[in-house]
């Protein structure tokens, strides 16, 4: 990777980017900012994929979409992102059956500035690695996961980690929502 991945405890970089929100004419695009989740007092889960119109990426995006309500139930704003443009995102959503009814924004980091600040740009092609960030309502990064370009992530693990972070307690190995936390 070209630089260090943004680390736990650091503040998520400020951004304002165009995102695809809908396939409805005139409602396709809107700005998404780093302040949106903070103003709402919510957590943010931002996951990145390398390229639109590829093979592993839509399986992950569709899986996040299937669990969208679970993120909402946890007061988390879910955002998908890549370095492709909003127009490529829109075309892909129109083209791919599993992406037409997405409930979360597809952020376009065409300048690659946010991916670069996060330290997740792959050196050769300058596409984002499969990275996931969980950010608390104050804007602090609380969890980072980065996968190689060829390996899809586990959405259930993202939810499990979000649950554990939201307890604000000590959670043992393999802890899941509803289980006892550790007492000191």
User: Per-domain residue ranges for the chain?
Assistant: 16-167
- At residue 54 the predicted structure's pLDDT band, cuts being 50, 70 and 90, is confident
pLDDT of residue 21: 93
Instruction: Name the superfamily (CATH) of residues 16-167.
Output: Glutaredoxin (3.40.30.10)
Residue 103 has pLDDT above 90, yes or no: yes
Mean of per-residue pLDDT scores for the chain: 92
User: Which is the catalytic residue, given 57, 128, 131, 164?
Assistant: 57
Residue 2 has pLDDT above 70, yes or no: no
Residue 100 CB contacts under 8 Å (≥ 6 apart), including other chains? 23, 93, 94
pTM higher than 0.75 for the full model? yes
Active site (annotated) includes residue 173: no
Residues in the chain: 184
pLDDT of residue 3: 53
- At residue 6 the predicted structure's pLDDT band, cuts being 50, 70 and 90, is confident
pLDDT average, residue stretch 166-179: 93
């Amino acid at each position: 990777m070209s630089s260090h991945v943004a680390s736990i405890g650091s503040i998520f970089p400020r951004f304002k980017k165009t995102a695809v929100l809908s396939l409805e004419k005139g409602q396709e695009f809107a700005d998404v900012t780093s302040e949106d989740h903070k103003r709402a007092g919510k957590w943010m889960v931002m996951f990145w994929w390398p390229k639109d119109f590829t093979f592993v990426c839509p399986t992950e995006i569709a899986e996040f979409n299937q669990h969208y309500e679970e993120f909402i139930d946890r007061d988390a704003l879910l955002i998908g992102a890549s370095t492709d443009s909003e127009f490529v995102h829109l075309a892909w959503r129109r083209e791919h059956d599993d992406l037409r009814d997405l409930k979360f924004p597809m952020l376009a980091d065409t300048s690659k500035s946010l991916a670069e600040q996060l330290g997740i740009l792959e050196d050769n092609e300058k596409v984002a690695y499969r990275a996931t960030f969980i950010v608390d309502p104050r804007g602090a990064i609380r969890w980072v996961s980065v996968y190689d370009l060829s390996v899809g992530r586990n959405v259930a693990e993202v939810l499990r980690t979000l649950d554990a972070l939201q307890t604000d307690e000590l959670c043992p190995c393999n802890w899941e929502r509803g289980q006892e936390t550790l007492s000191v």
